[in-house]
């Protein structure tokens, strides 16, 4: 049976999604839990490889399970083991061809900022506190150049390959923009077919520099054109970022 999970997790409890030696990751934890419930080893596939400290509300996971797997029991057991740090929101049987990663059409990330003079202790694990006043209008204007097909080398950590072949960092951004949330919340959402490592956090850091007045909205065009990471802004902290939704 091909099984599809909709998963949320507290990124502060994990060293990222992907398996990594000697650290606790979401993938490793899920495989351990599912394997114990199914009484057979399983290998999962995730829609997005979130970094250390990054949260998820809409991560999608797929795996091959036994044909007689009780999906209701699976969800209850996983949520009991996850103890609130890892939550399976939905469990469904999927088509045999479904793959959480390769079947995905787009991914949407959300970044939350608390823009206030005083930090909000209730949101300190899920948002970035920026005490300087930010111009939401300028940050919104700076989003326009991001939309479309671009080389995002200026915002990404370039992967290392043993064969020396340079990895393409061209990505297609479908939408990007800011909105006001509750109280002092500023929420950034960006949707793309795929993302490269640290892309969203680098973009958010640069947009915050625009909001502070350190860069202009027009600077985004030049930053993208030059493709130089040194021209972009700071890297926003991971705890404000969440994989919010995946489209199929």
Contacts of 178 (CB under 8 A, 6+ apart): 136, 139, 140, 143, 186, 187, 188, 207
51 tagged catalytic: yes
Measure the N-to-C terminal CA separation of the chain; round to a whole number of Å: 19
Check 10, 51, 70, 99 and give the catalytic one: 51
Active site residues: 51
């Amino acid at each position: 049976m091909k099984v599809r999970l909709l998963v949320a997790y507290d990124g502060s409890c994990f060293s990222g999604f992907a398996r990594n030696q000697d650290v606790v990751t979401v993938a490793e934890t899920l495989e351990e839990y599912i394997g114990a419930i199914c009484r057979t080893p399983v290998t999962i596939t995730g829609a997005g490889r979130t970094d250390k400290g990054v949260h998820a509300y809409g991560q999608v996971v797929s795996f091959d399970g036994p044909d007689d797997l009780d999906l209701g029991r699976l969800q209850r057991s996983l949520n009991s083991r996850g103890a609130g740090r890892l939550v399976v929101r939905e469990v469904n049987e999927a088509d045999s061809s479904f793959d959480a990663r390769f079947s995905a059409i787009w991914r949407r990330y959300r970044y939350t900022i608390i823009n206030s003079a005083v930090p909000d202790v209730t949101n300190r694990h899920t948002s970035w506190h920026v005490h300087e006043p930010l111009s939401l209008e300028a940050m919104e204007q700076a989003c326009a150049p991001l939309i479309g097909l671009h080389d995002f080398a200026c915002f990404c950590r370039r992967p290392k390959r043993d064969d020396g072949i340079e990895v393409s960092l061209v990505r297609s951004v479908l939408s990007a923009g800011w909105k006001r949330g509750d109280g002092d919340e500023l929420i950034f959402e960006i949707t793309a077919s795929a993302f490269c490592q640290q892309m969203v956090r680098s973009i958010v850091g640069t947009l915050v520099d625009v909001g502070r007045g350190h860069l202009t909205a027009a600077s985004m065009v030049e930053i993208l054109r030059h493709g130089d990471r040194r021209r972009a802004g700071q890297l926003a902290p991971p705890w404000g970022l969440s994989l919010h939704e995946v489209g199929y």
